[in-house]
Amino acid sequence: MPPRRTGTHRVVRLLVSSLLAALLVSAGSVRANPLRRPVGSRLLNPSALAAAQKRAVERLAALRLPVFCGGGRLPNVALTFDDGPSPYTSSLLRLLRHSGAGATFFLVGNRLADWPDAAASEARFGSVGDHTWSHPRLPGLRYDGAAWEIVAGRRAVEAASGHVVFLFRPPYGLATPRLDRLVGRLGMLDVRWTVDAGDSLPGATARSVVRSVEGTVAPGSIVLLHDIHPWTLVAVRRLLPWFNRHGLQLVSVPELLRLDPPTIREQHGDASGHHCGTRLTTRAR
């Protein structure tokens, strides 16, 4: 639970402390996997690749706009998993690693203590991001409380993973202009999605998730999934060969943005839709 509000000075001190903590951490969560390099990176060593990914994220974060997709010019897709960690996270990591697939994980701060090694494993594998401390609907909170959720979530993920967090995703894709400005001041990029796999919808099954993804994914897509459901794990196991057959390379969000960044038009959107591809694509829920 957030601490009692003591005025704006409390929030300012908290934000400053968070920024100072970020500066003291030696490496970012946007890092390269030394065992799996993205397309076009064979001439880059892991450190140079991580630096290039970080620059790509920072360039887009400076625009203070959310990202919904890559540019769609290359056959790359970014799988993202929200709301973890969970009992299924380690199995998911093994599955993705075995397939050579990249991924990004948006973690909830108050769930990290139950799986203390998960964030570090995810950061070593791909990228991790802030999904707030307790997964509330941010617009329904007072500003101080919402700011606390964002900062506390980030600090928890950084402490658990050992890396500075540059990626953020608001729960349910909901924020406010004032919170958007806060995320920008914290140097984080708001990452939304192109394809909602629907794995958190009532009655979701592995089959429905597979159909949803196969029917809507395209080069440059960012796919929303959740690693808290057993059927999501089954669906991913079925989807990985499908991506391979269709020539789609699965990469982390920083890899996607380094290789194939979106246009400014593709960054304009909201909770109900975005301009990725040739037409307005709306959320599945």
How far apart CA 277 and CA 149 sit, in angstroms, is 33
Q: Quick one: CA torsion of 149, 281, 220, 189, rounded to 10 degrees?
A: -20
Looking at the annotation, which residues are catalytic? Answer: 82, 226
Sheet containing strand 281-282, edge to edge, reads 269-270, 273-274, 281-282
Q: Cα 94 vs. chain centroid, distance in angstroms?
A: 19
Q: Are 137 and 170 in contact (CB under 8 A)?
A: no
The dihedral built from the CA positions of residue 171, 147, 86 and 24, taken in this order, carries a sign that is positive
Cis peptide before 34 (omega within 30 of 0): no
Element (H, E) at 215: helix 206-216
Candidates 185, 113, 173, 119; CA nearest to 147 is 185
